[in-house]
Structure 1
């Protein structure tokens, strides 16, 4: 399979290499499902938008590519018929044909002096231009449309409806172009226009759109409040198709903003109404709701249930095109969950169906989606081994299937180019390059990938450009990780560096440009950062340069931020570069990085060059060692169980640099932990003589650039203490919480919420009204890699991490910021290797400068003892938060009942340690 494919595929490649001419400067597009209410009726000479929902993929932002399609109908046809025919083409995914017909209709209306009908048609054109990434054309059309409406000066219900329709389209264009505030204002105006005609569907749709704009602007609390109002409005309505459709759209929006549990509940309500209405509900509605449910459940991680919803959606799909789209999502999930045999059976079925689809944009995208899944299957087969790409017993990918897919994709690319869809063309070219990559035809893969990248950059589409930059990096290395081709290393490094830089430019937009549930951070983003760090740390027998070490450190910190962004499904915080010397001249920062073939450690000492050392070990072996230490820290373990593991990890992380710490008078070790290291208690590492915590204060942080370097002002020690002593919500009682809170109150002045008084509302009210620099929550809680499953327990329920974020930040700008947040009885989710990500998420998003939390839930008696000692030490002059925790832990480990690290090691300080 290393030779060239012959016949049609080579001809297709030859043709594709000449596709990139005269594309102009285009802007990026984002994939998102939009509900566009488009139906045509005539009244008083005005074509009015009324309620029919059309799900489609929407693009945005682009300079015009002139549509050169020949008119499909004679120009003498009445404009209303042209509009209706255009709509039929649009629904079928034939965007260019629809544009041609709408252009003809707009010309007719202009000649007749019918500016309002012309305005409506221009709004349709704007949406269609946006689908093709033609931003300037779309903006011009919508601006002309608004001018025509404003100059008409009509105040009729139909005129208000028309204005609302045009404003709705304008808002979508603005949001797609990153203008969230402008989009919010436009959709508020649209809501006013809809209210003037009592159009409840339009009102609710405008509010859902506003919530999306608020979320994009980072105003999460306002977005949730508005969505809650929408849901209440819908629930108060009688069951109807309008209510069903509104709940369906709301469910999609809730998924996009990360509220998966609520999304599922709302979608299930929508489905129940659809089934209740029975024969009044089109099959397309039922299929669409089931598809959305599958996507939401998939995002929750429930693969089997998601596959079941997809199967039901397929069974009720109203057309072969709709069926194929759902099957592609099903195929993607089968591939992601390593159900290879089922995936290959479905792939064969889809491949045969594609030939039967009518020519359309959706059919072309389906061809690309199929090829991308084939690439993922191929890469999975490559990892699995020897049967790869050879046919044989079916465990690999038959070469004939790859040839066929490449041939069909090459033809589809040329059809896409004829339609003017530059984004799809870039996707197609890059995906074809991926097929050549997995068959190790490096020259062809490089040529196609470079063409795809050039096109993506010409339309300013960073969300796909980074994928081709990453792909180029892999191709330069010819698939070898780490890259062992010395001559290709500089080119690979440049390509990877460009990919990381592009990802950095996206940050908060990363989820927005990939709202599709099929997007996987761990597959599509994380490897880019890690592989780039691996390249930077490679050298021809010499240590990496300072420049490379600095860049590697910055890259691993950037990965930490990207993981938090993905955790919250939005940009979590603003980062500001800072040097350790500017924070604490007696602190060292340690960056342990888990790479495929080594454990790398970068050490930053104040006013000194970066140090670097590595231990050549496969990633699986490193993770085995870390897991072994974590599992040894249990209450029933003996010293012989945990000590060897604690010493082994010390040897990996600190032994090579231990001698350099003492001359620098280091007192605090700041770890920027990676992967499984986040859930490991660094305090329990042992050098053969003593635990690390007996010598150094220890703190964790996702990165120095997140720190707010300001010490706690001791004269202001005042706290808000809240806790549960009784069993609630399936969690056991914590009788010693009362002792903990009472004795902490004896150390600092505080207000207390205990048991029945500790509710969501009372906590919010107290935080809002009390300028306490310390918030201490002694209650059950859980940290998880899923934001929905990261929560603290109150008397009346759970507060998840996003609600906690809103609650704690509510007073920002009004009262004293939270200096220290203490979560004294929380734990990382069992079996979740990335659960400590939830702890970092709470620490960063709480708005607190420092967070003290536990990696696992410990005996509440020992916890109470440690917390009391912590506050006692914190009140002493010159004692930092990190040092207060160190002293409290050392005090506990010297008590006969608590010598095991299980009792004192899980408590970690995150953020500012001063």
Structure 2
């Protein structure tokens, strides 16, 4: 008997759905005995599935094999069961046995003339060959499957296979063949009015063009791909449905995550010194990362986001659209003729079909001829010769700088982009062109230093060595802030809106060290999700605001065990949380307090909209994985997941404070999407900003920082970000709490300017 535990929560659901699809059955109660006249193959399938219900994954294949080896089924009953057995091997990652059983299923399906089963098995077989890196065999399987699916008229599968074959040719360096199949895939998706699939195909074409050193054309195709994604997001925002996950067949044809397209375009634009456009793509990248994590981004109500095409790019798009329209019409006629059974086609129809097949196979040649046309090459030259100032006329930059100029102090926006072999920095200031700096540090070296720096900040033994913290902080400062500090000084910038990338989200920028001072001594640093998702214009002046009203809850007593998937968390009450909340009430008399059992989600959220500050002195864990795995623990033992936060309504709340958060739980760092997603979810509730910690700080240090924060927040003219910075500086000035472990953990996400 297997000792594997059946996954719980969403993972259990996903596995059940996968098994249902793989085995071709619905998740439904099954009878224990066959009904009269029931197909024995169906009864066998039921028998094989029963061990899965008990969590005994290894037993099901044995049940299938016993019957197959006993030769109890024949003819049409055998092939589906072999396919089921190979699918189980596939699910259990037994790839080699799966290949053998897929081949056997293929033989049986061909023997009985079940061409739909042959096509599907060839498709699965091709995917397994890819797993084994047997790309030539994968190509053969996919191409044979494609011919059969063309006869069957399954356009969605045809488009996916065309794309898959194009990717294989790309990997083999045969760019002409790759473009041929990718153009076919694009035309098929366009026939289906499948915008998501069209975006995938455009992005893959862009990758081929980039590899061919056709940078300007690659940029155009990347822009078209991203604009289709943004159009989809806007459509679902308008219908209030949220941005849905891609269908399974589209997930299979992505060369990587959706956000890879955004990163690759940003990289090309920066290489071409088109910094303004790169900044806009980087902002959209943050939105896409949130969407990949939460699947609920509806875009900004301020403006629909589309990348602007330069005039020369518009001209090339118009030329290409004409070429692609011909390909779509060719595909339509071809499908009509392929739908006619071969024995019923006239000689003229067969001759026309043969001609159309040849024309379709020449799409790659036509596209290559297009990109090499003298007029197209001339437009590419014009784009290469365009000065960076040409892009300063883009409306997106003018709008962004107008917003920065409307603030009461110089504020800059910093976007780092972590690439495999380097770090790119983009800085936007109220005046002048955006600044671009390239830093020669690889992703591996940068991430290694991030892990080291975080350990030095948090590990009780290692953080004793302050000089080690400073040395690591200095290295990170040289990569992240030193390249732009002259520009910050010229602009008199003391406030940075910071949009960290990847694992940079796990460390505070304020804890970086310039060799003399910590960054927090020089700058106010407000983390942001994306400029396109926030309003950072100052509304009511700080001096003109009405007094704060605080709803504060504390978990100070008791112990709770929390299971998230297969991970157990044990949380005990925070001894100083009660004193922390009492001190908030002393500083702000209009505070309402909730303790322990009275501090429940229902009691808290139901009344939160009557307050301007929601203070939660309790545990919260933001862990890598799914949004359902990150949570806030309330005093009565209930937990609210990151997904649940989307249901909160906090229209009058200016600030949410979580004073005992943990990230990177268990020392596992992902790409920080859970931190990004948390900031976004809070923004969506209506809250202007959130203060949370990146690691747990001792209770006394947290209490002192919060006392100082609320004291500063009451000072006329001091905004949320300034109050947090001043509170951190107050701990820094105290020898007992001057180590960044105590003060650097707390970051503000959102609008801290007022």
1:822 aligns with 2:657: yes
* Superposed displacement of residue 282, structure 1: 5.0
Deviations 1:479-526 (A, max 9, x none): xxxxxx54x222322232333223333346764333589769993323
Number of aligned positions between the proteins: 596
Match of 2:98 among 334, 346, 353: 346
**1:324 and 2:80 matched:** no
2:739 to 891, 897, 900: 900
Given the alignment, which residue of 583, 590, 593 partners 1:752?
593
Q: How much does 1:623 deviate?
A: 1.5
Query: Paired residue for 2:323?
Result: none
- Measured after TM superposition, the shift of residue 332 of structure 1 is 7.6
Once residues 376 and 263 of structure 1 are traced to their aligned partners in structure 2, the CA distance between those partners, rounded to angstroms, is 22
Alignment CA distance shift 1:267-1:412 (3 Å): closer
Structure 1 residue 444 displacement after superposition: 1.3
Matched with 2:355 is none
Report if aligned partners of 2:526, 2:721 keep a CA contact under 8 Å in 1.
Answer: yes
Distance 1:361 1:863, change over 3 A: farther
The verdict on how the C-alpha distance between 1:573 and 1:403 changes in structure 2, with shifts beyond 3 A counting, is closer
State the Cα deviation string for residues 420-451 of structure 1 (Å, max 9, x = none).
22222111222222222222222212211111
Separation of aligned partners in 2, 1:565 and 1:764: 25
Match of 1:367 in 2: 122
* Alpha-carbon distance in 2 for matches of 1:908, 1:330: 47
Q: 1:322–1:265: structure 2 CA closer, same or farther, 3 Å change rule?
A: closer
Q: Helix, strand or coil: the match of 1:871?
A: helix
Q: Report the Cα distance in structure 2 between the residues aligned to 1:276 and 1:516, rounded to whole angstroms.
A: 32
Quick check: 1:805 aligned with 2:531?
no
What residue ranges of structure 2 are gaps of 5+ in the alignment?
1-6, 20-24, 36-41, 69-76, 237-241, 304-398, 561-569
Structure 2 partner of 1:686:
513
Structure 1 position 537, deviation (Å): 1.6
Paired residues for 1:133-532 under 5 Å: 259-260=10-11, 274=29, 277=32, 282=43, 284=45, 320-321=79-80, 324=83, 327=86, 331=90, 334=93, 342-357=94-109, 359-361=114-116, 363-375=118-130, 377-378=132-133, 397=134, 402-478=135-211, 486=213, 488-507=214-233, 511-514=244-247, 523-532=256-265
Instruction: State the secondary structure of the residue aligned to 2:256.
Output: helix
Work out whether 1:556 is the aligned partner of 2:387. no
Kindly tell me: are residues 900 and 414 of structure 1, through their superposed partners in 2, closer, same or farther at Cα, counting changes over 3 Å? same
CA distance in 1, matches of 2:453, 2:652: 37
Name the residue aligned to 2:532.
705
Q: Distance in 2 between matches of 1:908 and 1:404?
A: 52
8 A contact 2:105–2:121 mirrored in 1 = no
Structure 1 residue 319 displacement after superposition: 6.4
Partner of 1:107: none
Q: Does 1:717 align with 2:548?
A: yes
Counterpart of 1:766 (choices 607, 624, 630) is: 607
Q: Shift in Å at residue 907 of structure 1? A: 0.3
Q: 1:613-628 maps to which residues of 2 (within 5 A)?
A: 613-628=437-452
Question: 573-582 or 670-679: which moved more?
Answer: 573-582
User: Which residue in 2 is equivalent to 1:632?
Assistant: 456
CA distance in 2, matches of 1:912, 1:652: 26
**Residues 858 and 515 (structure 1), Cα distance of their counterparts in 2 relative to 1, 3 Å cut:** farther
Instruction: State the distance in 2 between where 1:289 and 1:505 align.
Output: 45
Match of 2:307 in 1: none
- Counterparts of 2:207 and 2:619 in 1: how far apart (Å)? 45
Distance 1:766 1:266, change over 3 A: farther
Deviation digits for residues 725-758 of structure 1 (CA, Å, limit 9, x no counterpart) = 0232121331100110000111222111110111
Quote the offset at 1:465 in angstroms.
2.2
- CA 472–856 in structure 1, closer or farther in 2 if over 3 Å, else same: same
Question: Secondary structure of 2:667's match?
Answer: coil
Q: Conserved in 1, the CA contact under 8 Å of 2:627 and 2:674?
A: yes
Q: 1:867 to 1:525 in 2, by over 3 A?
A: same
- Specify the alignment match of 1:654 in structure 2: 481
Q: TM-score normalised to the size of structure 2?
A: 0.72
Q: How far off its partner does 1:803 sit?
A: 1.7
The alignment status of 1:834 with 2:655, answered yes or no, reads no
443-452 vs 886-895, which deviates more? 443-452
- 1:612 counterpart (432, 436, 439): 436
Residue 400 of structure 2 corresponds to 579
- TM-score, normalised via structure 1 length: 0.60
CA distance in 2, matches of 1:697, 1:451: 52
Q: What is the distance in 2 between the residues matched to 1:784 and 1:310?
A: 34
Q: Which residue of 1 aligns with 2:321?
A: none
Give CA deviations for 1:443-483 in whole Å, capped at 9, x if unaligned: 212211111112212222222223322222232344xxxxx
2:544 pairs with 1:727: no
Secondary structure of 2:288's aligned partner: helix
- Write the deviation string for residues 311-339 of structure 1: whole angstroms up to 9, x where unpaired: 689779986447636845864884xxxxx
- Distance (whole Å) between structure 2 residues aligned to residue 887 and residue 827 of structure 1: 23
Q: Describe the SS at the equivalent of 1:554.
A: helix
Cα distance in 2, alignment partners of residues 278 and 518 from structure 1: 38
Pair 1:329–1:855, CA change in 2 (3 A): farther
Using the TM superposition, give the Cα deviation of residue 574 of structure 1 relative to its aligned residue in structure 2, in angstroms: 3.4
- Residue aligning to 2:425: 601
- Cα separation, 2, equivalents of 1:741 and 1:366: 63
Offset at 1:361?
4.2
Q: Per-residue displacement from partner, 1:760-792 (whole Å, max 9, x unpaired)?
A: 22223333xx51111111101101232111101
In the aligned structure 2, how far is the partner of 1:367 from the partner of 1:856? 50
- Deviations 1:843-891 (CA, angstroms, capped at 9, x unpaired): 2212211010010111011011111111111111111111100000111
Choose 600-609 or 490-499, whichever is displaced more.
490-499
Alpha-carbon distance in structure 1 between the residues aligned to 2:748 and 2:56: 38
Quickly say closer, same or farther: Cα 1:866–1:468, change in 2 above 3 A: same
Inter-CA distance 442–271: structure 2 relative to 1 (3 Å threshold): closer
Contact kept, 8 Å, 1:782 with 1:792, in 2: the verdict is yes
1:776/1:823 contact within 8 Å kept? yes
1:644/1:310 Cα in 2 relative to 1: closer, same or farther (>3 Å)? farther
Contact 1:826/1:856 (8 A) holds in 2: yes
**Alpha-carbon separation, structure 2, partners of 1:646 and 1:310:** 54
Counterparts of 2:716 and 2:517, CA distance in 1: 27
Going from structure 1 to structure 2, the CA distance change for 1:501 and 1:265 (only over 3 Å counts) comes to: closer
- The structure-2 alpha-carbon separation of the partners of 1:793 and 1:452, relative to structure 1 and needing over 3 Å to count, comes to same
Cα gap change, 1:719 to 1:418, in 2 (>3 Å): same
Residue 286 of structure 1: how far off its partner (Å): 7.3
What is residue 5 of structure 1 aligned with on the other side?
none
Q: Secondary structure at 1:512's aligned position in 2?
A: coil
Q: CA-atom RMSD, angstroms?
A: 3.5
Q: Does structure 2 retain, via aligned residues, the 8 Å contact 1:805–1:842?
A: no
SS in 2 for 1:497: helix
